[in-house]
Homo-oligomer: A and B are copies of this chain.
Amino acid sequence: MISFENDYSAGAHPKILQRLIETNMEPLPGYGTDHYCENAVRKIREACGCPEAQVYFLVGGTQTNAVVISSMLRSCEGVIAAETGHVNTHEAGAIEYTGHKVLTLPEHQGKLDAGELKNYMKKFYEDANHEHEVFPGMVYVSWPTEYGTLYSRAELEAIAAVCREYEMPLYLDGARLGYGLMSEEADMTLSDLAQICDVFYIGGTKVGALCGEAVVFPKGNAPKYFMTMVKQHGAMLAKGRLLGVQFDTLFTDNLYFNISRNAIEMAHRLRALLHEKGLTFYLESPTNQQFVILEDEMYRKLSQKVALSFWEKYDETHTVVRFAVSWSTTEEDLEELAEILKVG
């Protein structure tokens, strides 16, 4: 059965596996101190245009969010996120487990609004009792968002301006960063993001790796003892090579960008297919996820032939479902989907 269920249903890009095999028996020091990690750091610095950036490799997204956020907040500070932010919804309370509140603002197709953020901050400090409240200490955005949408440069810079005014770091969750960067709608490069954000991560798991996320502190502004905090969270691999080799490969010959571009091309075709079929979009995103509203009966039938994600009930008789493509989606997958939709 073909799968449009998510962007982590396949393994790794073959070049990554190839490099894992080639380097497999080389004895290497542990914990991210090997030369593949060093190479990957160097290449990521270059790709970001930040020679002084600090780059760390962690294993997964929830873990990365917990380590980055908790390491940068004072104990009575919380992190601001859109209601739909991954840290607020699907991380089983990982941020709260580190002792910090997720302070939610309304979402607009998954995005924060800079004006609302500014008002929130103003109101917070005007409140005579704010010393009894959680201090907003950081802003979390995802790019692409959980709905596949993208902040424009102007939108992100407006948020960054509020962050600077209130001396809060701006953190960008780039679980699907490649798909954002390669979207036609994107008006920012990786280097732009590195200029605007205080910390972000380049997602590997959903963009060609078996696992792994690269945290970037573009201004060399990592908290003191960051690696020890990574260890303390159980987020450090003994065989750090597994992450080093993968990111070294992804950032060699533009692999990360090239495979992301493939996903965007497949997403275009997917959208076209869904439009042809006359389906109602819940949200038509410029990246690799598309959300459509299906009649429950159609959803049931379709599910027997293609793996999809249930998103939420739309009403009594309809359901919002997600179609996701990824670096591994092929033209054949889409042709097969076209056939299924034709029949279905």
Contacts and interface: CB of A to CB of B under 8 A. Distances in A.
A55 to B, nearest CB: 17
A310 interface: yes
Nearest to A31: B132
A93 B24 contact: no
Given A17-B17, A234-B66, A131 B94 contact: no
B64 A75 contact: no
Interface stretch (A3-11, A254-262, A267-275): A3-11
A307 interface: yes
A65 to B, nearest CB: 8
Nearest to A63: B234
Contact of A224 (B9, B21, B74): B74
A300 to B, nearest CB: 14
Contacts of A67: 234
Given A91-B132, A228-B131, A27 B14 contact: no
12 contacts: A9-B27, A11-B241, A62-B236, A64-B234, A71-B75, A74-B229, A75-B229, A89-B133, A91-B231, A93-B232, A131-B225, A135-B225
Interface of A: 1-3, 5-6, 8-12, 14, 17, 20-21, 23-31, 59-67, 70-71, 74-78, 89-94, 96-102, 126-129, 131-135, 205-206, 210-211, 223-225, 227-229, 231-239, 241-242, 307, 310, 312-313, 328
The 10 A-B residue pairs whose C-beta atoms are closest, nearest first, are A63-B234, A11-B24, A3-B27, A92-B231, A92-B232, A93-B134, A9-B27, A96-B101, A8-B238, A76-B228
